[in-house]
Each structure stands twice: as structure tokens, then as C-alpha cells.
Structure 1
Amino acid sequence: MCGQTLVRNGKTSAGKQRYRCLNCGSSRSGERPDVSRRAELEAFLGWLMGTTGQAAAASFGTARSFRRRTAWCWNIVPRIPATGEVHDQIQVDGIYVGSWCCLIAVAGEHVLGWQWCDTEKKTAWAALLQRFPAPRVVITDGGSGIAAALSECWSETAVQRCLVHVQRNVRTYLTSRPRTEAGRALLRLGRALTRINAPAEAAAWLAGLNAWHQEHGALVKARTYRAATAVAPGWVRSNQAWWYTHDRLRKAYRLLERLGQAGTLFTYLSREYNGLDIASTTNRIEGGTNAQLRLILRTHRGMGEEHQKRAIEWYLYLHSEQPRPPATLIETSHYRPAKRTTQTLQEQEPGPELYSTGLSPDEGLWHRTGWAGRT
């Protein structure tokens, strides 16, 4: 054959598809391995991204046949190439899968990339952020390590803290029903964050936070000193001489005060970003991406960690801006295991010597001659 693309040319008497080259006229019959692998990968992704069972995913027969024919598909590792495009805003967040954490970056409706790590930390975030040019605004929930990575990789990028996460943090410190009037007033300020839609409302909120401090600031600074009559809370160390009396109230206020002074609460209302529709929350990545990932893992519960990771990678890849057709990612090494050569076997470290059936004089066993009772 001359190497040109073959076209279908009827079927043989056995029912197999016949192919013919229009250039040289040669023909052949039989299966097309590339077509079979493409069909198997499409069926595999249809099952992985869907909610149907393995037996109904394709016309492969039973679920066992489906697993056998698509087992090689787990070897494909999809990756999103960096395009170098500068985005107005990027949302970042992490999702935990077993002992792994997947850091994800999203721009608009598309996934930009991901990074696997053991936990959210500076080095992992930096490995993800370095792949993309710095955007104008980054929206984050303020997880561990992200602030240090942003100052190192995207030092000129403005930061918008997710207001929903700030609300949750305040409610975690104060509970949903604070006992003191100061706690109830501070909780009302926290709940009002997501209802601010104009710069004037943001200024009024900051003024309200300042007014709260003017009225209840003494509670933030109040201390309790260790004494025979004082009952120390459980979180106080044994060698601690004093502690803040209203510790959780102080933490809630300090959180709002720190974010207000840093200017990361109302970045989306800045005049320089008018018309860009900067988000004030990470709801796009939380509800649009992470929620779908959890749905996939829940639908196909029982997968091992490696298969869970591959399922997440496939979803993120397929929801990137311009993903290549999955069949183009197939390589020979994915479906054909590497051959073990004699040299490879010799280079392996020798293991323990196995027992043999031969007789050894070292063990007192050898072939004897003569009569055992002869003197």
C-alpha cells in the first residue's frame, strides 16, 4: 500500500469490512485498530462523565467486557496546554480527593489548569500560577499558602476575597446565634457583605464596622489573667499567663478589619474595573466545577485514588476552552505495554535465590554410592 487513507469498499463474504486505497487500488479487510481504540475511548469517557452503568455505556456486552476493553484508557493523562492569554479575572480553589488536593484555576466558563499536591501550600499554588500570565484580578477564598504565592507570582494582580467564605468564617467564630449584643451586631455586618452592590454601600459598611469598634472595641482588647478563681478555657495552654476574654469575637472582628484595611473585600466595585463584571465570590468554581467533580466521584464511588484523579483530570480537560479531540491523545504506550528485553531483566536487582530441586552437599544432600551399612 502507498500509505494513503483507506476508504470503505463493501464487505467480505464473512461480513468483515473491506477497505480500498483510491490511489494505488490495493485493498485489505479486517478490523481497524485505530477505529476500535477511538470507539473504546469515546465509550469510556461517555461512561466516566455520565451516570449510566458500564454495561449500558457501549455495545461491548457485559460490564466485565467493558472494563476489559477500556482498561487501557486509564493510562491516558490529559493536559491543558498554556496559551499565554491574559485574562481579566481568574478564580482559584482547591478540592480534596482522598489524600490528594487538586488546585484549579478557572477563567469565565473554562478551566485553565490544575495542580496536584498533598495540601494547599505556597509551592503548590506557585506551580499552578506560574503557568499563566498575571490577570487583572484574582478571586480566592483565602486558603493557606495562596497569599504568599500571589505575592511571589502575581504581585501586581488585585485580590478579591470570596465574600461567601468571609461570611462563613464570621459565622464559624460567632455561631449563628451569638449570646452577646456585640456578637449579634458583628454577625449582621458579616451577613450584609453579599448584599453590597455599589461603592457607596461599601463605604457605609466600612463605616459601620468602624462604629462597631468604637462601641465594642473594649471587648476585643479585654484580657483574663490566670488566677486561682479564674477558670481557664480548654484551648489555653498550661503555661499561659493570660488570654483574650472574648477570643472568638476578637477573631471575627480582626478578620473583617484585616480584609477591610487590605482592600480585598470590595475590589469588584473599584472604578478601574467597571464593565469587567468582576465576581465577588468563587461561586463559579465552587458550584460550576467542584460540584460537578464531587458528582462524578459520587456517581462512580468505589474507584481507587488513581482512578479518581484521572476522572477529575478528564472532566477539567474536557471543560477547557479548546480541548483537542480525546482520540488525538492516544499513544502506542497507552494500549501496548513496553516489551521487557533481556538487558532490562539483567539490570534488575537480583532477588532472593529460590529453592531448587537439585541436591547440594552444602545442605548434606548429594548422590551416594555403595551400601550404607558397609564398613
Structure 2
Amino acid sequence: MAFTVKINNLSKELTLFLNWLFSIDIQANMPGKSRTFRCKTVKFWSIWPLPPKVEEVHDVVYLDGIYLARNLCVLICCNDTHVLGWYVCRYEHAKALFNVKTMDQAFIWINELSAWRMTYSDFLREMTVDEFENKCFTHERLLKAESSIWRMIRQQTLFTFLEYIDITVPTTNNRIEGGVNAQLRSMLRAHRGLTLERRLKAVY
């Protein structure tokens, strides 16, 4: 009895796809020309790479956002050697935290958060009826984000960095801005024709 062994070319095709993505080559210059290249690699655009689960404790991490559109940003976190994780958001709003250098300033920041809660209380209480006639909060994700901040405040973990004044912390974010993000921006410039969804997946 004769058996036919089916050759799995997925690994080779993935390598071909990644070599193109991380280069400045256009699809017409790839093996098989544009149409053949797209047929072989289109399946990889359906993949959403998930960030790894990181449980190690790091003294210093770097966080920065790369904007793909006016209201689409990917936050990337890394240490001195590796990317630790990434997260999609609409905006990057952390400037107020940069002013927190003492515990007194931390208390001021918490009071301002409370004032924000009072100012936008009606907005945060808005409800929406879903397709199953169930009521839910219209801004549920915002409420969850706020809840996580208050949880860290109660657990006294939000401003832990103020307790370790003897740790030498880099004064700039160049490790991620000039390293990881610079390479991502170079990749996006080389492939300007990508749709927004594919630009997002390429950064992922």
C-alpha cells in the first residue's frame, strides 16, 4: 500500500510573510510576484498575537504609545531587554502622573480623580439597552478602568514607586521610543498601503 505524505508549507510561508513585513521590499519583488505572495500569506493577517503573561517583578519598565490613527493607539511596555506586553487603546493619557514626585502630590492626584468622578457622574451613570433588552452601563470599559485605579489606591500599590527613592530610574523613555517604537514606525513607513486593521496587527 502506498502512502502520500502531504507537505506542510505553513512554516516556510510564515517565514516568507515575516521576512517581507520586516523589510522594505514590495510584494512584487517577493518570490512568485504579488498575486502568488498574497495567496500564500493572506491567512496570516487573521492572526491576533496575544501578549505573554508576565509574572516577574521589574524595578523599571518603559511604557510608550504608538498612534496608528487619531483615536487608535498601541501601548507597549518593555524592560531593558524584552517587550513585556502591549495593549490597544484610544488615547494615551498619563501626563498627570508625571507630576507625582512626592506623597503630597499623590494625595492631590487622588483628590483630582475624585473631582473628575463627581464632575462626570451623570455621564458615567448613562445606561444602554442591548439587543437582549438588558440594561448595562454605556461606558462600561471606562468604569472598569476607573475601578482598577481605585483598587490600586486602596491596596496602596499605585504610587509604590514613591517608596523606593534609592532606586536609580532612567530620566528618559529612549529605551522604547528609540528602540522598539522606532523600528515599528520604520516598518509602517515601508508598507504604507496596509489597511488600518493590518497596520494594527503588524504592530501587534
TM-score (norm 1): 0.37
Q: Deviations over 1:35-80 (max 9, x none)?
A: 21221111111111122222444x3x11111012211110111112
Indicate the SS of the match to 2:15: helix
Identity across the alignment (%): 36
Q: Tell me which of 58, 68, 92 is aligned to 1:97.
A: 68
Structure-1 residue corresponding to 2:51: 80
Distance 2:96 2:74 in 1: 14
SS of residue matched to 2:193? coil
Q: Which amino acid aligns with 1:308?
A: R
In structure 2, the partner of 1:188 is: none
Deviations along 1:205-257, one digit per CA (max 9) or x if unpaired, are: xxxxxxxxxxxxxxxxxxxxxxxxxxxxxxxxxxxxxxxxxxxxxxxxxxxxx
Residue of structure 2 in register with 1:29 after alignment: 4
Specify the alignment match of 1:46 in structure 2.
19
Q: Deviations over 1:76-103 (max 9, x none)?
A: 1111221310011011111110131111
Question: Contact 2:62–2:78 at 8 Å: present in 1 too?
Answer: yes
> Is the 1:120–1:144 Cα contact (8 Å) retained in structure 2?
no
Return the alpha-carbon distance in structure 2 between the equivalents of residues 70 and 151 of structure 1: 41
Return the index of the structure with the highest Cα Rg.
1
* 1:87/1:107 contact within 8 Å kept: yes
State the TM-score, normalizing by the size of structure 2. 0.65
Question: What is the distance in 2 between the residues matched to 1:27 and 1:43?
Answer: 32
1:40 maps to a residue whose letter is: E
Q: Aligned pair 1:157/2:160, yes or no?
A: yes
Higher helix share: 2
Asked if 1 retains the 8 angstrom alpha-carbon contact of 2:65 and 2:92, the reply is yes
CA distance in 1, matches of 2:76, 2:170: 17
Which residue, out of 56, 62, 77, partners 2:33? 62
CA distance in 1, matches of 2:91, 2:68: 10
Distance, in Å, in 2 between the alignment partners of 1:46 and 1:39 is 10
1:113 maps to what in 2?
Answer: 85
Deviation above 4 Å: which 4+ runs of structure 1?
144-152
User: Relative contact order (alpha carbons < 8 A, sep ≥ 6): 1 or 2 greater?
Assistant: 2
Match of 1:293 in 2: 184
Paired letter, 1:143: K
C-alpha distance in structure 2 between counterparts of 1:43 and 1:91, whole Å: 31
RMSD across aligned positions (CA):
2.8
